[in-house]
Amino acid sequence: MLPTPQLADRDIIEQKAFIIQAIQAHLSGAASIDALAGWALKAFHSLYSDDQDVIEQPEEADDDVDTAEEQDADETVIESVLDLLMFADTPEFALSPAQLAGAITDLQR
């Protein structure tokens, strides 16, 4: 069974965990590739919809630069993996089990 695609209210670690859980559900046979692609589309839109309230963050101190860069890198990985998954149900963008396992590895970094 796939987890909820509502990722916007979750922190980065939970977002990654939910995406990994969704991929593992497909790899275990519990969810079809069509279901995984649909889930990824909903998850992506939950993160980037215009309906989300955007809270401006204050300027970060120099001490927080590494943390901000790490968060940006995590957000980029999440976006990239969701992008791959959203189109995985079309033949030209189909992903092998090894590619899906690679996406999990990317999310675990």
**CA angle, 12 as apex, 99 and 38 as ends, to 5°?**
50
Average pLDDT over residues 14-40: 98
* pLDDT at residue 52 greater than cutoff 70: no
| Measured distance CA(81)–CA(20) in Å, rounded | 10
What local confidence, expressed as pLDDT, does residue 63 receive?
A: 54
Asked if 16 and 108 count as a contact pair (C-beta separation under 8 A), the reply is yes
Q: What is the pTM of this model?
A: 0.82
Report the pLDDT value the prediction gives residue 64, as an integer from 0 to 100. 55
pLDDT in tens, 55-94: 334 444 555 556 788 888 899 999 999 999 999 999 999 9
Q: Which two structure tokens, joined as six digits, stand for 104? A: 């999990």
- How far is residue 56 CA from its own chain's centroid? 22
